[in-house]
Amino acid sequence: MAVFCGVDWAEGHHDVAIIDNTGKLLAKCRIDDGLDGYQLLLDLMADHGDTAETPIPIAIETSRGLLVATLRAGNRQIFAINPMAASRYRDRHGVGRKKSDPGDALVLANIIRTDVPMHRPLPDDSDVAQAVAVVARAHQDAVWKRQQITNQIRSLLREYYPAALDAWREKAGILSRPDARRILAAAPTPTLAAELPTWKLRLMMTKAGRKCGITADAERLHTLFRQPTAHQLPAVEEAMGIQAKALLTQLDAACKAVDELAKAVEETFGTHPDAPIMLSFPGVGAQVGARLLAEIGDDRTRFATAGGLKAYAGAAPITRASGKRKYVGRRFVKNNRLNHAGYLWAFATLTHSKGANAHYRRRRETGDWHAQALRHLFNRMLGQLHHCLQTRVPFDETIAFSAGPNTATG
């Protein structure tokens, strides 16, 4: 008799339902989020036929956490069901729109009882791949957080300190640069900035790690900060300076986190056997490669074809057809982390691969916008990456871009 288990995950407790192949409820319980609760769940499943050779499949609404890590031991299949999909299945069991945690656990168990071919179990990624995923996603989140704080500072400076925006507008990193952060922290208002002497500007740049062009840049900033400009009321300007210093403290912490996580990403990614293959692709460094590996994983059975990987990344177009109407456009439901990494990858290939650049130019000539052409290039490169990972061969541009604009390796 086939048995299925559904777990409705919550922050403090989890509801469990075990059913047979007819949908009959065999057992249900509520466990806490601790080792005793996990053991209770394992004992309950063992009472209903769970063994190492024939483990009971489990459906749960999350793919991470200690509960999932405990249940993934061995060869058990864990199905992470999207909460939106689970809510649609709930309507099949009643029209009254009632909802409860035990009821949701029963719905999850029935999902894999009736429609298991339509859902994909969690990939069997190696420990190193899972570790790469942790640090790569943390680094990506830190980069996004840094940009978010930078945008907040930029928005604030526009209201009372526009000279600070002009000071580093053409510099790499703009306001997140170490020298920009140090100078703004020392002079968070235009009144204080106008009082900075050239020697002090040079000193702050040196302490921030600048090595070239310090004297010329210090003189440029000294002239810029002393130019006549409109001012807020003195008390208002001082208050805005206090707000800017508080945001700069957050930005310093975010920049430090980005740097530390970048080192961890490079170290962890370098130990994975897929790293040399990924790094052989133009435009892929340790950080982009780690982000790709984090979302693709190293379970080669996860994506049987390159088309599945492209759809998962949002690189392949989606078709909606009904009668005489047909629409082909970009995907909105996708892995956003992988899609973002793909945009960075495709953009970097333009300066590292003549074949990729020529492909991009052809797409622009046919009428594609910049983002469309990059997405099409990412779609092609992703197919080549799938091929190289499956066959364990490095990237070869003479093969990848030798068959014409509409042919992709893999």
Tokens (6 digits) for 382: 């992703």
Tokens (6 digits) for 67: 């509960």
* Packed helices 286-296 and 336-352: angle between N→C axes, nearest 10 degrees: 140
Range 1-14 burial, b when 16+ CB lie within 10 A, else e: eebbbbbbbeeeeb
Range 20-40 burial, b when 16+ CB lie within 10 A, else e: beeeeebebeebebeeebbeb
CATH homologous superfamily of 3-118 equals ATPase, nucleotide binding domain (3.30.420.40)
CA distance 388 to 397: 12
Identify the pLDDT of residue 407. 44
Virtual torsion, Cα 104, 108, 114, 115, nearest 10 deg: 130
Identify the pLDDT of residue 369. 93
Tokens (6 digits) for 99: 């909802």
Tokens (6 digits) for 312: 């998962």
Tokens (6 digits) for 367: 């009428």
pLDDT tens digit at each of 410 positions of the chain = 689 999 998 888 899 999 999 989 999 999 988 888 888 999 999 999 888 888 999 999 888 888 888 888 778 899 999 888 888 888 777 666 777 888 899 999 999 999 888 888 999 899 999 999 999 999 999 999 999 999 999 999 999 999 999 999 989 889 999 999 999 999 999 999 999 999 999 999 999 999 999 999 999 999 999 999 899 999 999 999 999 999 999 999 999 999 999 999 999 999 999 999 999 999 999 999 999 999 999 999 999 899 999 999 999 888 888 888 888 888 888 999 999 999 999 999 999 999 999 999 999 999 999 999 999 999 999 999 999 999 999 999 989 887 554 444 43
CA distance 298 to 277: 12
Total-model pTM: 0.87
Q: Provide the 10 A C-beta neighbour count for residue 54.
A: 11
Rg (CA), the chain: 27
Sequence spans of domains, the chain: 3-118, 131-267, 276-400
8 A C-beta contact, residue 91 and residue 150: no
Identify the pLDDT of residue 1. 63
CA distance 2 to 22: 9
Element (H, E) at 356: helix 354-365
CA distance 132 to 273: 12
Q: Determine phi and psi for 4, rounding to 5 degrees.
A: -130, 150
Which residue is listed with tokens 């403290």?
249
Tokens (6 digits) for 321: 């057809």
Identify the pLDDT of residue 338. 95
The candidate with the shortest Cα–Cα distance to 331, out of 312, 346, 304, 345, is 312
Question: Three-state DSSP class for 138?
Answer: helix
The candidate with the shortest Cα–Cα distance to 331, out of 300, 270, 296, 372, is 372
**322-325: long-range contacts, CB 8 A cutoff, minimum separation 24:** none
Identify the pLDDT of residue 404. 52
- Furthest-apart CA atoms within the chain: distance in Å: 84
CA distance 380 to 51: 44
Identify the pLDDT of residue 33. 82
Q: Provide the 10 A C-beta neighbour count for residue 257.
A: 17
Which residue is listed with tokens 């080792």?
35
The candidate with the shortest Cα–Cα distance to 4, out of 53, 45, 42, 47, is 45
Q: Determine phi and psi for 52, rounding to 5 degrees.
A: -65, -30
Identify the pLDDT of residue 28. 92
CA angle centred on 81, ends 74 and 308, rounded to 5°:
85
Identify the pLDDT of residue 82. 85
Q: How far is CA 209 from CA 42, 55, 182, 261, in A?
A: 55, 57, 11, 20
CA distance 401 to 404: 7
Burial of 397 (0-12, 13-18, 19+ CB in 10 A): middle
